Amino acid sequence: MVKVYTIASGKGGTGKTTVSVNLGTMLAQLGKETFLMDADIGMANVGLLLGLQDAPVTLHEILAGKANINDAIYECPAGLKVIPAGISLQGFQQADPEKIRDVMGEIIKRCEFLLIDAPAGISKDGIVPLAVADEVILVVNPELSSIVDALKTRILTELVGGHVLGSIINRVDQDKPDIMIKKMEKVLGVKVIGYIPEDTNVRRAASARTPLVIKYPTSPASKAIRRIASGLIGVSYKDEEDKEQKEGFLERFTKAVFAKKKGN
């Protein structure tokens, strides 16, 4: 069955695009046929993070009725299929956000997961992605203004007939966020489906125009995203690297013990 997730926030700059690109890449890496559509048609960033800034055909042209959807699908690392939005203001003005429903209808015939990177705020182009998704995921930072705005988006989603699956707390700067998670669940009234630590590799990967989970797969934020993706597809998360390190340690420890015994 196809699942459509809209990645939304409230406040801008919380990490929607970072989450969309990397969650999408990770789902693709885990073997799921995944599409990512940049519905932030006013402030499009998905293309920038993936090196698609010069894409000749984008969602803008499709929403303006000037191009065919097949011409705006680009294959990215791990096999993630991406429909970027354009960056020109003129393209934005000509795009009809209502047409997102048609584009979505076409894409869901071809994939298992469709992620939609939504705009911040409560403009008209932001409402459609909230209404059309099976589930909305709110990306929140651990600060009051971000939480208050996310709450507004949750209420708006429900008003337009959508459903919020839960939130992802991004840019967490504490080792034991359990209490914060509980508070967030209480205030937002939805489950926290994962949290992503503050990680300087996020910016470095963006500068390299490569998804973080590809460029720095063992970085703390990558591992967090892998855990969230595993949760979405219902597989248990295994931190392979930690496991390998532990196994490596056990092996070394056992060898050392036996070597000592032999020496005795």
Q: CB 12 → Mg ion: shortest distance, Å?
A: 7
User: In the complex with ligand ADP, which residue's Cβ is closer, 158 or 198?
Assistant: 198
Other Cβ atoms closer than 10 A to 203: 11
Number of residues that bind Mg ion (CB under 5 A): 3
| 170 near Mg ion, rule: CB under 5 A | no
User: In the complex with Mg ion, which residue's Cβ is closer, 6 or 45?
Assistant: 45
Q: CB 9 → Mg ion: shortest distance, Å?
A: 9
Stretches 37-45, 73-81, 146-154, 208-216: which one binds Mg ion (CB under 5 A)?
Answer: 37-45
| 45 near Mg ion, rule: CB under 5 A | yes
Q: CB 12 → ligand ADP: shortest distance, Å?
A: 5
29 binds, among Mg ion, ligand ADP, none (CB under 5 to 8 A by kind): none
In one letter, which amino acid is 105?
G
Q: CB 234 → ligand ADP: shortest distance, Å?
A: 24
Stretches 31-39, 40-48, 82-90, 250-258: which one binds Mg ion (CB under 5 A)?
Answer: 40-48
Distance CA 44, CA 132 (A): 19
Interface residues toward ligand ADP, by CB under 6 A: 9, 12-18, 45, 170-171, 196, 198-199, 202-203, 206, 221
User: In the complex with ligand ADP, which residue's Cβ is closer, 20 or 34?
Assistant: 20
User: In the complex with ligand ADP, which residue's Cβ is closer, 12 or 79?
Assistant: 12
User: In the complex with ligand ADP, which residue's Cβ is closer, 197 or 248?
Assistant: 197
Q: CB 194 → Mg ion: shortest distance, Å?
A: 18
Binding mask 4-23 for Mg ion (x = CB under 5 A): ------------xx------
3 binds, among ligand ADP, Mg ion, none (CB under 5 to 8 A by kind): none
Distance CA 55, CA 165 (A): 32
Instruction: Please report, for residues 8, 151, 227, the alpha-carbon distance to residue 224 in angstroms, rounded to integers and kept in the order given.
Output: 18, 23, 5
| Chain residues that interact with Mg ion, rule: CB under 5 A | 16-17, 45
